[in-house]
Amino acid sequence: MNLLEDLKWRDSIAQSTDIDALAADMARGPISLYLGFDPTAPSLHIGNLVALVVLKRFQLAGHRPIPLVGGATGLVGDPSGRNQERTLNEEDVVAAWVERIKGQLSGFLDFHAGSNKAVMANNLDWTAGLSAIHFLRDIGKHFSVNQMLARDSVASRLESGGISYTEFSYQVMQAYDYLELFRRLGCVLQIGGSDQWGNIVAGVDLIRRVESKSVHALTIPLLTKADGSKFGKTAGGSIWLDPEMTSPYAFFQFFLNSDDRDVITLLKTFSFKSHEELSALFAEHQSNPGARSAHRALAQEVTGYIHGEETARKVEEASRALFGQSEIRDLDRETLLGAIAELPRIEMASGDEISVIDAMASAALVDSKSAARRIIKEGGAYINNVKVSDEATLIKGADLLHGEAALLRKGKRDLMAVVKKA
């Protein structure tokens, strides 16, 4: 199966200018393609990862990827998918975010070996010295305002109250990026989320008008969860690739806790396993969804290629330990603290003691102290995975693992932490 057939099998193609022409160009030899990321935050998130994985698949198939970090477009703001203007960030902030995102991309794509090694790009390199007059004369003249107004991203904003000239001009800037990458690096394909279709085909049209050449566009479906909500969003916000913004443990748990209805789609989207391996996982999931083998395989693989295999191993062990499936005392300090980072918690000063009942009630693990007593009586309360048999049990300093935290569990899945007071 060739790459485009593989992408179709994975449901990773939403739109294409001419899929047959693209297939013919790819059959003649490796192509160069690009995917853009605007620095709207200090890190990429897993919504970005959907398209980034497709870029990686192209590289693994022998093509040359060009990840573009928009040091210029990030100063302007993309109206796609928004019903109001973005807050414009200061230049030094955007520049710092560009460097952080470059670092994340450098760890995911191969920038070192082979004829198809990745090439990093920043559109500030060709826009910083470009005058407004030359931009309007040389680029702007090729754009029809009527067509620009018809783009979905612009039309929806006009309907919802209006759009600034700054964001209205975004599609011209993105089109210019494609032209420059075509000229500089022979780039003949731009990929992106399906919400970028209008911006991408604007670049295809610009290259045709200016260079009289045909290039390609391909978009990837935007993922939504089975309940209709946006993929990658939780009650706590986005799931980031930066471990300081989303801990590797929380990252792992996000995929592990995927809805049963979503896990096959997520494996197709994010996994680099073969079709045979995936089909076996799908069959196992459908015959025994309670085993959650597909969820665990998904969480292991994605955490591994974002945070490293060793980190993935540690956070999986932490996941098992927190829910009583392995020894919690074997976790190292960093893994333990990362695993409990988002749990409800109470603090305990060094040398103090607190009853299990008070701790459970204070952290709202139970509705009342009487409920805590009932849980203990029924054998459903645990300190560091050891069953609490006496309702008078106290949590003491000796219970704080690594002198930092103790885990209190109710039943199989409800957790809280007692942590040392700073």
412: pLDDT strictly greater than 70: yes
Gap between the Cα atoms of 285 and 199, Å rounded: 39
Please report which helix (H) or strand (E) contains residue 37, including its range.
strand 32-37
- DSSP class of residue 417 equals E
Compute the half-sphere exposure of residue 210: CA atoms within 13 Å on the CB side of its CA.
21
Predicted confidence band of residue 421 (pLDDT cuts 50, 70, 90): confident
pLDDT value for 293? 94
Q: Which among 184, 189, 232 has a CA at the least distance from the CA of 59?
A: 189
Q: Report the residue count for the chain.
A: 422
235: pLDDT strictly greater than 70: no
Measure Cα distances from 292 to 16, 27, 144, 170, 287 in Å: 35, 39, 52, 43, 11
Residue 147 in tokens: 């067509």
234: pLDDT strictly greater than 80: no
Angle at 217 between CA 216 and CA 219, to 5 degrees: 155
Domains of the chain: 3-220 (3.40.50.620), 224-342 (1.10.240.10), 343-422 (3.10.290.10)
Instruction: Please state the pTM of the whole predicted model.
Output: 0.91
Model confidence pLDDT, tens digit, residues 345-371: 999 887 889 999 999 998 888 999 999
Model confidence pLDDT, tens digit, residues 49-69: 999 999 999 999 999 999 999
State whether the Cα torsion 150-153-156-158 is positive or negative.
Answer: negative
273: pLDDT strictly greater than 80: yes
Q: Which among 152, 159, 163 has a CA at the least distance from the CA of 193?
A: 152
Tell me the percentage of the chain whose pLDDT exceeds 90: 77
Gap between the Cα atoms of 8 and 217, Å rounded: 15
Q: Beta 216-220 vs 187-193: how paired, if at all?
A: parallel
pLDDT value for 226? 85
